[in-house]
Amino acid sequence: MKAIKKIGLLAVFLMALLVVTACGNSDSKDSNKSNDTKSSQQFKGQTMNVVATSDAYQPLFDKFSKKTGAKVKVLSMSSGEVLARMKADKSKPMADLWFGGGLDAFMQAKTDGQLEKYQSSSVKKIDSQYRDKDGYWLSKGLTVGGFVVNKKVLKEKNLPVPKTWADLADSKYKGEIIMSDPAVSGTMYAIVKGIIDQKGEKAGWEYWNKVNDNISFYGKRGKDPQEKTASGEFGIGIIPVDKMAFDSAKQNNLTVVYPKDGIPWVPEGVAVFKNAPGKKIAEAFIDFMLEPKNMKELAKLDGKDTDQIIMPGVKGLDLGLNKKDLIKENLSTFGSDRKAVLNKWSDMVGDK
């Protein structure tokens, strides 16, 4: 009888132990869950100010906000405008994160001491040519240059659709070509510099002098060539080629051309501004951006072909781009040559 009582007491003790252990595990899980939630909302109540080339990236910023709790405010601005603003007031960072724009501007900003160094643990996945060796900037993808053609305008003037950059130097296209000012548009600077790299200094400038003779107006916004060609003001617009260009072409009966004699390109930069108040949030966003699933979403928002993506294993769209057609360029001089190229360009075009 005593043995039975002992067994009964032992059973009760074991049951109680199981209940306590279960509660403890439950508390631990709840605690971990609470910690995870806290960790994922680490920037709740804080704001990250971003300078971006467009507002197309809002869905990615919204996703980051949901994960971290940070509010994101975006100011749309071209890379040339960013450099001008920084030059005007070097004492105050204009934002926390610089997102998009030609790499030449980021190289110049690094030289001017306007960027903060940051090396994400994921950055080594990106080819070394697409990131600063000192950690001041990295690329989010490639922009490629080409042109869009208004077939109706050219047909009315009995002009053929140009297929190459060389075609644009033909005097028969005088007054039919528009491009944006390369001092304003990083993509246009990349196109100018890419052609010079391809042809060599002397032949490159001889080429651009001939094209300049055919251009009566330089856009003050990056969107001008696409919009003004679509409206019929010009027959040919020099543009960044992406899904948006193809969509616009479809809507407006235009033709997008990847030039057969080579495609200029430039990596688009991402960086943290020097002394940015939201530095930690900007760094966290770079880590977030480099996650493969977010790089894939970014490629979609950017409307990029797979051959424009710099993260290995991430696929984009099929826009007919062939990476073999990209011009061989010297990225190391994109920033250092910028001022000299733009000064010479300004002298060439005058008041256009």
Q: Output the DSSP codes for 12-66.
A: HHHHHHHHHHHHHHHHHHHHHHHHHHHHHTTTTT-EEEEEES-STTHHHHHHHHH
pLDDT of res. 92: 87
CA distances from 197 to 191, 203, 325, 328, 329 (A): 10, 10, 15, 7, 6
Question: Is residue 260 located within the same domain as residue 272?
Answer: no
Domain count for the chain, please give it: 2
Give the bridge partners for 257, in sequence order: 147
332 within some domain = no
Question: Is residue 342 located within the same domain as residue 205?
Answer: yes
pLDDT of res. 91: 80
Question: Is residue 164 located within the same domain as residue 238?
Answer: yes
- Please count the CA atoms within 13 angstroms of the CA of 197 that sit on its side-chain side: 22
Question: Is residue 131 located within the same domain as residue 187?
Answer: no
Q: What distance in Å separates the CA atoms of residue 3 and residue 1, rounded to the nearest whole number? A: 5
CA-nearest of 127, 125, 160, 180 to 342 is: 180
CATH of the domain at 158: 3.40.190.10
Question: Is residue 217 located within the same domain as residue 344?
Answer: yes
Decide: 82 and 222 in contact? Cβ < 8 Å.
no
pLDDT of res. 90: 80
Decide: 141 and 299 in contact? Cβ < 8 Å.
yes
| Residue ranges in the chain whose pLDDT is less than 70 | 1-39
19 within some domain = no
Decide: 137 and 123 in contact? Cβ < 8 Å.
no
CA distances from 116 to 14, 42, 107, 297, 321 (A): 59, 21, 12, 26, 34
Helix (H, G, I), strand (E, B) or coil at 162: coil
pLDDT of res. 351: 86
Decide: 216 and 352 in contact? Cβ < 8 Å.
yes
Question: Is residue 153 located within the same domain as residue 69?
Answer: no
CA distances from 19 to 12, 25, 70, 260 (A): 11, 10, 40, 74
Question: Is residue 133 located within the same domain as residue 271?
Answer: yes
Taking each continuous run of H as one helix and of E as one strand, the counts in the chain are 12, 10
Instruction: With both helix axes pointing from N to C terminus, report the angle between 201-213 and 338-349 in degrees, rounded to the nearest 10.
Output: 40
Question: Is residue 156 located within the same domain as residue 234?
Answer: yes
Residue 65 dihedral angles phi and psi, to the nearest 5°: -60, -45
- What pLDDT digit, counting tens, does each position of 195-228 carry? 999 999 999 999 999 999 999 999 998 889 999 9
Question: Is residue 241 located within the same domain as residue 163?
Answer: yes
Helix (H, G, I), strand (E, B) or coil at 272: strand
pLDDT of res. 29: 40
pLDDT of res. 256: 98
Q: Which token pair is 24?
A: 């403890």
| Coarse DSSP helix, strand, coil percentages of the chain, rounded to the nearest 5 percent | 50, 20, 30
Question: Is residue 172 located within the same domain as residue 233?
Answer: yes
Question: Is residue 89 located within the same domain as residue 154?
Answer: no
Q: End-to-end CA distance of the chain, in Å? A: 109
41 within some domain = no
Mean pLDDT of the chain: 88
Max Cα-Cα span within the chain: 115
Q: What is the DSSP pairing of strand 177-180 with strand 215-219?
A: parallel
Domain hosting 65: range is 47-142+267-320
The DSSP code sequence of 87-154 is: HH-TTS-S-SEEEEEEHHHHHHHHHTT-EE----TTGGGS-GGGB-TTSS-EEEEEEEEEEEEEHHHH
